[in-house]
């Protein structure tokens, strides 16, 4: 799993206090090799970059409540690896569900697929497009955040490049994307229930 870096209490305190802290980059650089090594060793079939990104998002949410106390709660590395493990298991379950669905679709014949399926797919696509359009014109979301979301989620640009272009941390890009995706999901659910 590689060398596990020593825990910096100062670093943990600073990143716990703000998702926008510039020290998130330092945290990522310090622990990325450890997370990647663990995933390579225990979960070689999962996409490490995605799991690490999910872990960083989870940390941004949970670290404000985390109190470093190696005597009573264990070392931070155990906490971190626990999150990585949970995210890897979730990714593994998701990929298995996708594989099962693909296998099911591959074994069905074209006659099994009705016009209703096509209409349903067109409906879902139309709802998603309408939701994205509404979200991208929502004045309550800062223009910069909408642009970051557009670049990362809709145009699939590398988050690190987007972070550099907009002058924000990589972690901040992930948080913005996650928050807007949450709003988009909620909007799609509301539009679909009509």
In a domain? residue 103 = no
In a domain? residue 100 = no
The angle that helices 48-62 and 23-42 make with each other, rounded to 10 degrees, is 130
Closest CA to 175 of 47, 37, 29, 15: 15
pTM metric for this prediction: 0.54
**Residue, of 192 and 9, whose pLDDT is higher:** 9
Statement to judge: residues 124 and 184 lie in one domain? yes
Statement to judge: residues 23 and 72 lie in one domain? yes
Q: How many domains does the chain have?
A: 2
CATH number at residue 27: 1.10.1740.10
Instruction: Tell me the per-residue pLDDT of 86-143, one tens digit each, with 9 for 90 and over.
Output: 999 998 888 888 777 777 766 665 555 565 567 777 888 888 888 888 888 888 999 9
**Domain end point (choices 94, 129, 157):** 94
The angle that helices 23-42 and 9-17 make with each other, rounded to 10 degrees, is 110
Residues of the domain holding 150: 115-192
CATH number at residue 178: 1.10.10.10
- Given this model, what pLDDT does residue 40 score? 92
Rounded to an integer, the average pLDDT of 42-59 is: 91
In a domain? residue 105 = no
Statement to judge: residues 87 and 122 lie in one domain? no
- Given this model, what pLDDT does residue 190 score? 83
Instruction: Tell me the per-residue pLDDT of 143-176, one tens digit each, with 9 for 90 and over.
Output: 999 999 989 888 889 999 999 999 999 989 999 9
In a domain? residue 99 = no
Statement to judge: residues 151 and 187 lie in one domain? yes
Rounded to an integer, the average pLDDT of 46-71 is: 88
């Amino acid at each position: 799993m590689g060398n596990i870096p020593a825990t910096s209490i100062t670093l943990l305190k600073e990143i716990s206090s703000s998702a926008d802290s510039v020290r998130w980059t330092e945290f990522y650089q310090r622990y990325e090799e450890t997370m990647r090594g663990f995933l390579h060793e225990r979960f070689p079939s999962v996409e490490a970059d995605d799991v690490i990104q999910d872990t960083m998002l989870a940390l941004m949410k949970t670290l404000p409540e985390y109190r470093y106390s190696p005597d009573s709660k264990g070392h931070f590395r155990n906490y971190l690896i626990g999150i990585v493990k949970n995210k890897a298991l979730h990714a593994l379950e998701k990929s298995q569900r996708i594989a099962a669905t693909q296998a099911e679709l591959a074994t069905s014949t074209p006659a099994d697929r009705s016009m209703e399926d096509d209409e349903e797919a067109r409906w879902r696509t139309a709802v998603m497009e309408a939701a994205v359009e509404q979200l991208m014109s929502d004045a309550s979301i800062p223009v910069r955040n909408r642009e970051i979301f557009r670049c990362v989620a809709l145009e699939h640009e590398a988050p690190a490049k987007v972070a550099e272009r907009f002058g924000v941390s990589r972690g901040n890009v992930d948080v913005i994307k996650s928050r807007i995706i949450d709003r988009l999901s909620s909007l799609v659910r509301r539009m679909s229930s009509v």
